[in-house]
Amino acid sequence: MSASDNNNALEQNFAPLKNDRLLRALRFEPIDTTPVWMMRQAGRYLPEYKATRAEAGDFMSLCKDTARATEVTLQPLRRYDLDAAILFSDILTIPDAMGLGLYFETGEGPKFKHPIRTQADLDRLPVLDVNDSLDYVMRAVTSIRKALNGQVPLFGFSGSPWTLATYMIEGGSSKDYRYTKGFLYSNPEFLHQLLDKLATSVIDYLDAQVVAGAQILQIFDSWGGALGHRQFVDFSHAYNKRIVAELKVRHPEIPVVLFTKGGGLWLDVQADSEADALGLDWTMPIDRARQVLTESQRQLTKHHKKLQSSKAIQGNLDPATLYGSPATIRAEVNAMLDSAYANGEKTGYVANLGHGITQWVDPDNAKVFIDAVHDYKI
């Protein structure tokens, strides 16, 4: 049973939204200025985040502590004039709940004690009840939504099936995806079984986040760009498309953003989905992305014999730009926005970084970025 079908789900009494700029941009409605937020905006570049994490003890303890997860989500909104908040959590919550034994080694990132390498490993994976094993995420979503008091919309999120599968098979992050790509080419059915299980879990997980209070969703396909172009369609996009389609059945009013790092070459592929927006990394010019999506909309309308909705765009400043001087940051932001609005369309765009903000950024430089976006005259 999906969370949205659960009769026990409490009807939340949330404050009305005061700043809907980002939602309006995704609907291609007029906006007064460009909406902006940052992937990983609650994170290690902020001294107040480091202090709160130290109190919690470790990263997953912080994720599971409702009060502290709420606090770190709100911290960047106290510093910056952001147009959205994003749930403080991790993309690996689903495999952790499946019993893979998530742990973190200093300087090495997340790892799993029990990677998925055999059919027996795969068969042992449970069907998740997300409101049981991941209830701490839903408590955090509701707490954050209430604490925001309508200030800005709240993003919920998940990793994509492909990205989650790479971590689960490799046992951590990877540069060459030796085992995952090994299965892709030697035993694709094994990989599809895992991706199918993960897609079902991601659908239920994001559904539950909406019921808990999320107003917009993002799917992070962080390692989609590691695939070959044919393999991207079959092993990543097909599952993302299925997830979005089911979410739109359950929650047609909730916008969904698909972000594939390294996926600029496949915008025409990703356009064939019900996603409201596509995220870009810094390798794809936004004006070219707009052109590709306009043409894709025309072709898909012809193919489906039904008008296909336009796709908004999110992105795509290189996070390393924030190591530069304030003048450099402002110049790069202006160039990015010139590109975003080059075709004359003055909406349908959300400014962001092309991936997460890094821990070495000066918090003052992040403010320069946010303010430069809002100062730009559309």
Active site residues: 40, 44, 53, 90, 167
User: Using an 8 Å Cβ cutoff, are 288 and 322 in contact?
Assistant: no
According to DSSP, residue 174 is labeled -
247 three-class SS? helix
Cβ-Cβ contacts under 8 Å for 325 (sequence gap 6 or more): none
Angle at 371 between CA 366 and CA 373, to 5 degrees: 100
Angle at 74 between CA 137 and CA 159, to 5 degrees: 40
**DSSP letters for 78-93:** HHS--S-EE----TTH
Give the Å distances, CA to CA, from 73 to 35, 69, 200, 356: 18, 6, 27, 15
C-alpha closest to that of 97 among 151, 66, 136, 152: 136
C-alpha closest to that of 65 among 75, 55, 56, 77: 56
**Cis before 316 (ω within 30):** yes
Give the Å distances, CA to CA, from 154 to 145, 254, 301: 7, 11, 31
Crossing angle of helices 326-340/286-304, nearest 10°?
30
User: How far, in Å, CA of 68 to CA of 83, rounded?
Assistant: 21
User: How far, in Å, CA of 148 to CA of 191, rounded?
Assistant: 40
